Structure 1
């Protein structure tokens, strides 16, 4: 049985015609799914009863059940989804004054093992399918009864280690017949996979890029992010320069501030030196309380780091925290659920 959320409009139209139905049925189905957020063929009332039964026998929606939904004081919402194989993933709704952003997962868990990350602590299980990635967007829109404005692939997993479903899901959500979300409203966040960054550059899609950096030298970054032992800072930045030359896009860098690890003036100077020559913006993020051995710097120290970068000509800002009271860092709900299941 074909997962219907894995099909682009053109693919669905071809399949519909091959099954002997009129091509305009694809328009009707896409309208029900992506405009009306209806995920049951029985409810698609402008299709005949026979067609509804016929479609139900040939196409399936992904098995998603909402295990929990938490809402923070600032409006941030976090969803824990149970999948067909009893695995769990998380998605987050982030509300800003003028827009809504969805933080979407691309894998069940993560194999990169970053020292500060809750997702990696629970291990890696598998990649998500295209339909499971798309479903997070549509199901959250249905639950909150609001349209998303921006999508960031910054949830569980490394997007570029599941690149085919990642790009296919963007194609589907961008399609004007479907969700019709502008291509510049997508951001891919990577821990630093050079081939994926170059693939994005060569796609000539104006998708934004965010890089989890967290340290400006190989020794320190390898300690925090083991992927750096495979792809050094030099190799990563060669790919980033290629991306910027191809696209002209500014690159956002995520930099988690960890007390006495990467928050000194020397670290700020090294970071400024590394970013020189790139159009960049640095998101400074005081570490979430996930791993006991890592602590947040005092507020004044974090602010001093920000000011030092700006003084050195690097645009940077301390991120306004959202969702801390509901453990909005990806992986925290999944870890809690997995621990609960083992009791």
Structure 2
């Protein structure tokens, strides 16, 4: 079977249409139906000849994935547990905040970075997602919106380390940011990374202009290696150097992420060190009070500890934003996305691939 979303992100749809005996303009129609018109079947593509639709149904499929579970929260957050064609499972999220419609998507099945507080890496990494599988998350989450609404922001902050799968991620993001794709401005697309300098340098060379969020989680190498083990072979300074260069090339203000863990990285001396590390950089520090994960020993800092941490940073002129929790009651908040066991899968009616 030909996977049409993969064909779209790889710019191969015209070749497929030609092989099926159709003129080139049919590729544009097919792309519009799948990407912009949110259809779920070939039968809905009413401006395509019936014979062509039948041929598409025989040899192609829109989806390689199925929705295994769909969960909603009172704050409007929706989470999809997506089953892949080979049995792997990932999660992705739709967040509603005023007029913003933000999606959080995954880039790998699991994660190899080993961040000690994060659910996504508990079972290690299984494989990279294809460009089509990344794009399918966007399209499936878009279909949760009413017809009059559209996606406004994307954060690649779900399962996996995005820059460890950069060659498949970028074609999917190009679909998101192109005018004949989802039409989301590059400045509204954020790639979150623990910091892989060679991949950040590649983003700089390609002049991608996406927003970059670097997950620090500690103000010194000793503590960061404890929290983010991959740091042992990298080091904070190399990450900062690569991030600074990306800022120079892209002009995008950097964001640094910092998950606040009670009694581990939330003490006054940590705030002082962090302020010294970031001083003089045109950056936003996004502080995320820890979202508890069952089975892990870490706790959310007290309100007093959070306030003290913030006051120290702001006294040094650091621009700080504390992220409000959204989706934590359905395990859809930062650090809570993970694969579920097959026993927990609840297939939805009508979720079979097209």
Task: Using structure 2 for the length normalisation, give the TM-score.
Answer: 0.91
Matching residue of 1:33: 34
Matching residue of 1:300: 304
Aligned length in residues: 341
Whether the aligned pair in 2 keeps the contact of 1:200 and 1:243 (CA below 8 Å) is yes
Q: Distance in 1 between matches of 2:298 and 2:220?
A: 19
Q: Distance in 2 between matches of 1:66 and 1:281?
A: 35
Whether the aligned pair in 2 keeps the contact of 1:303 and 1:318 (CA below 8 Å) is no
Matching residue of 1:155: 158
Matching residue of 1:188: 191
| Deviations 1:214-259 (CA, angstroms, capped at 9, x unpaired) | 0010000000001101211111111111111111211111101111
State how 1:1-343 maps to structure 2 within 5 Å.
Answer: 1-8=1-8, 10-17=11-18, 19-145=20-146, 146-290=149-293, 291-329=295-333, 332=336, 334-337=338-341, 340=344
Q: Distance in 1 between matches of 2:343 and 2:33?
A: 38
Whether the aligned pair in 2 keeps the contact of 1:263 and 1:305 (CA below 8 Å) is yes
Check 1:205–1:333 CA distance in 2 against 1; reply closer, same or farther (3 A cut): closer
Q: Distance in 2 between matches of 1:192 and 1:77?
A: 28
Q: Distance in 1 between matches of 2:257 and 2:176?
A: 25
Whether the aligned pair in 1 keeps the contact of 2:187 and 2:252 (CA below 8 Å) is no
Question: Which range is displaced more, 187-196 or 319-328?
Answer: 319-328
Give unmatched runs, 5+ long, in structure 1: none
Q: Distance in 2 between matches of 1:67 and 1:8?
A: 24
Give unmatched runs, 5+ long, in structure 2: 346-354
Deviation at 1:13, TM superposition (A): 2.5
Whether the aligned pair in 2 keeps the contact of 1:134 and 1:169 (CA below 8 Å) is yes
Secondary structure in 2 matching 1:144:
coil
Deviation at 1:80, TM superposition (A): 0.8
Q: Distance in 1 between matches of 2:107 and 2:166?
A: 9
Check 1:285–1:331 CA distance in 2 against 1; reply closer, same or farther (3 A cut): closer
| Deviations 1:257-299 (CA, angstroms, capped at 9, x unpaired) | 1111111111111111111232111111111111542111111
Deviation at 1:17, TM superposition (A): 3.4
Q: Distance in 2 between matches of 1:340 and 1:46?
A: 40
Deviation at 1:331, TM superposition (A): 6.9
Whether the aligned pair in 1 keeps the contact of 2:159 and 2:337 (CA below 8 Å) is no
Whether the aligned pair in 1 keeps the contact of 2:257 and 2:286 (CA below 8 Å) is yes
Deviation at 1:134, TM superposition (A): 0.7
Computed over aligned residues only, the root mean square deviation of the Cα atoms, in angstroms, reads: 1.9
Q: Distance in 1 between matches of 2:233 and 2:4?
A: 37
Check 1:336–1:59 CA distance in 2 against 1; reply closer, same or farther (3 A cut): closer
Check 1:283–1:333 CA distance in 2 against 1; reply closer, same or farther (3 A cut): closer
Deviation at 1:57, TM superposition (A): 3.8
Q: Distance in 2 between matches of 1:34 and 1:68?
A: 22
Whether the aligned pair in 2 keeps the contact of 1:130 and 1:165 (CA below 8 Å) is yes
| Deviations 1:294-329 (CA, angstroms, capped at 9, x unpaired) | 111111110111121111011002111111211113
Whether the aligned pair in 2 keeps the contact of 1:111 and 1:124 (CA below 8 Å) is yes
Whether the aligned pair in 2 keeps the contact of 1:118 and 1:330 (CA below 8 Å) is no
Task: Using structure 1 for the length normalisation, give the TM-score.
Answer: 0.94
Whether the aligned pair in 2 keeps the contact of 1:62 and 1:131 (CA below 8 Å) is no
